[in-house]
Structure 1
Amino acid sequence: MDLSKMSNDKKLHICKWYFRGGFAALPFLWAVNSIWFFKEAFCMPQYDEQKQIRKYVILSGIGAILWAIILLSWIVTFQTQRAAWGEFGDAISFIIPQGIP
């Protein structure tokens, strides 16, 4: 979709919906929102809706980074501690690696 062909109201509407969609456990939408609307929020000449778009871009970026940190922390913890958790580690595993007691 080409943002340059859209009205400013429509850009704000889409940016808002991507931001709200991120709260539905879809942090990928926050990442897309912050990247897609970055130029619109910070590089374009000033217009009325730009301040709100900038707010949603910043909040989307923060949300995507927080989700990435949480997900990476869980992955590292699970990968390094699964064997030490014993039965619980096996119960929450989809695939149990061979050769680890």
Structure 2
Amino acid sequence: MDLSRLPNDKKLQLCRWYFRVGCMFLPFVWAVNAVWFFKEAFVKPPYDEQKQIKKYVVMSVVGATTWIVVLTVWVIIFQLQRVAWGEVGDALSFIVPLGRA
């Protein structure tokens, strides 16, 4: 997406919209928001809407990072403890591996 063609108020509106969509348990959208608007928030010369864009970019980075950490911890715990959880581990599994590790 070429953000240079958008006026500053539309950039802010788009950044805010991506942040709100990410709040619906879509951390990938937060990551995209942070990547797309990083230069607008931290590299470009100052303009009126930049402070708000920076706020949304920082919140998007924090949100996406938090989701990545939580998901990584859950995957590690689940992979290491699935067998010990017995029926609960099997019920949580989409594909139940045969045998024991």
Asked if Structure 1 and Structure 2 have the same fold, meaning a TM-score greater than 0.5 normalized by the shorter chain, the answer is: yes
User: Which letter does structure 2 place at the counterpart of 1:17?
Assistant: W
Mapped partners of 2:31, 2:39: distance in 1: 14
1:91 matched residue in structure 2: 91
- Unaligned 5+ segments in structure 1 are none
Instruction: Map 1:15-34; keep pairs closer than 5 Å.
Output: 15-34=15-34
What SS does the aligned partner of 2:70 have? Answer: helix
Q: How many residues align?
A: 101
Aligned-pair distance for 1:14? 0.4
What SS does the aligned partner of 1:37 have? Answer: helix
- 1:7-57 deviation line (CA, Å, top 9, x unaligned): 001100000001001110100011000111000000001100000000000
1:2 matched residue in structure 2: 2
How much is the aligned-residue C-alpha RMSD, in angstroms? 0.9
Aligned-pair distance for 1:98? 1.5
**2:81 is the alignment partner of 1:81:** yes
User: Which letter does structure 1 place at the counterpart of 2:24?
Assistant: A
Mapped partners of 2:92, 2:52: distance in 1: 42
Aligned-pair distance for 1:100? 1.6
**2:42 is the alignment partner of 1:51:** no
Mapped partners of 1:15, 1:29: distance in 2: 10
Please give the TM-score of this superposition, normalised by the length of structure 1: 0.97
- Detail structure 1 runs of 4+ shifted over 3 Å in the superposition: none
Mapped partners of 2:40, 2:48: distance in 1: 12
User: Which letter does structure 2 place at the counterpart of 1:87?
Assistant: E
